């Protein structure tokens, strides 16, 4: 007997792959104009962090990035399976021509034809809006690609095994557009914003490259510069 659900998975998987190929061959702009979805979360956390990663290509590891990498190694393998009527797609390539975004969704659950993106995070559950923005951007990509409304998604925190549902409000969608436009502007102008130099820096993997304290503290900076060029 033919399993129609398996046929449907294979069909949808083929559609996603076909859509990806169509995008790759019919793209109307060059790839330099696209930004990674992850840039939105970086920008939301700290615009300078986003610039250092996406303009300067700076990437330093710390405990948090190593944990994040370990979690993503598990979800970065392109695979598809069906369980209790829900189709699970890992590492699904997604994009939006309108927002000029490209990336991969860690996991997309298909409840019937409706996609439900799930973003995996390495740490414990924390109340941050940066992740919400990223998963909302994924939803907006899926809406554009598949022509269906995506109302909800979720964030899964690996360490605490918690899952939080995110409802994509109009405000959140507007914020995604606003941040995507700001990141595009920043990258086009190759603008590196000044450091925020606040509690965000404590856990930031880039603090050794960024030197938030030294750059932020103008007096100290000027003093060091003066010393550097003074003849003893
Ligand atoms: S160290 Fe602070 S200012 Fe520098 S990138 Fe990280 S969060 Fe931003």
Its pTM stands at: 0.78
Residue 136 in contact with residue 168, Cβ under 8 Å? yes
Residue whose CB lies within 8 A of the most ligand 1 atoms, among 194, 204, 214, for a mutation test: 204
pLDDT of residue 159: 82
Per-residue pLDDT, 13: 46
Among protein residues, the one with the nearest Cα to ligand 1's atom 5 is 49
Ligand 1 pocket, mutate which of 58, 61, 186, 196 (most atoms under 8 A from CB): 196
Q: What is the pLDDT of residue 14?
A: 47
Residues of the chain with pLDDT under 50: 1-17, 21, 25
Q: Are 91 and 76 in contact (CB under 8 A)?
A: yes
| Ligand 1 geometric centre to CA of 196 (Å) | 6
Token representation of residue 57: 């290509």
Domains of the chain: 4-193 (3.90.320)
pLDDT confidence of residue 7: 42
Angle at 24 between CA 109 and CA 107, to 5 degrees: 15
Q: What is the distance in A from the centroid of ligand 1 to the CA of 191?
A: 15
Other C-beta atoms closer than 10 Å to the C-beta of 82 total: 14
Let me know the angle formed at the C-alpha of 128 by 122 and 129, rounded to the nearest 5 degrees: 115
What's the 57 CA to ligand 1 centre distance in angstroms?
14
Q: Is 87 exposed, middle or buried (0-12, 13-18, 19+ CB in 10 A)?
A: buried
- Closest listed residue to residue 125, CA positions, set 168, 155, 166: 155
- Residue 230: predicted pLDDT: 57
What is the CA(22)–ligand 1 centre distance, in A? Answer: 38
- pLDDT at position 5 is 39
State how far the Cα of 104 lies from the Cα of 133, in Å rounded to an integer. Answer: 15
């Amino acid at each position: 007997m033919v399993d129609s659900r398996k046929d449907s998975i294979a069909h949808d998987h083929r559609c996603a792959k076909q859509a990806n190929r169509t995008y790759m061959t019919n793209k109307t702009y060059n790839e330099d104009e696209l930004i990674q979805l992850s840039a939105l979360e970086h920008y939301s956390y700290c615009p300078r962090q986003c610039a250092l990663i996406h303009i300067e290509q700076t990437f330093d590891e710390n405990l948090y990035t190593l944990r994040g990498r370990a979690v993503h190694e598990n979800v970065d393998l392109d695979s598809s399976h069906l369980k209790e009527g829900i189709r699970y797609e890992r590492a699904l390539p997604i994009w939006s021509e309108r927002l000029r975004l490209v990336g991969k969704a860690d996991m997309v659950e298909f409840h019937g034809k409706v996609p439900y993106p799930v973003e995996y995070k390495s740490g414990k559950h924390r109340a941050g809006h940066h992740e919400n923005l990223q998963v909302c951007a994924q939803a907006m990509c899926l809406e554009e690609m598949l022509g269906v409304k995506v109302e909800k998604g979720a964030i899964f925190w690996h360490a605490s095994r918690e899952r939080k549902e995110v409802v994509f409000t109009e405000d959140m969608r507007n914020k995604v557009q606003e941040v995507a436009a700001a990141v595009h502007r920043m990258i086009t102008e190759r603008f590196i914003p000044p450091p925020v130099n606040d509690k965000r820096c404590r856990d930031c993997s880039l603090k050794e490259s960024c030197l938030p304290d030294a750059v932020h503290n103008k007096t100290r900076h000027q003093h060091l510069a003066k010393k550097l060029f003074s003849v003893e």
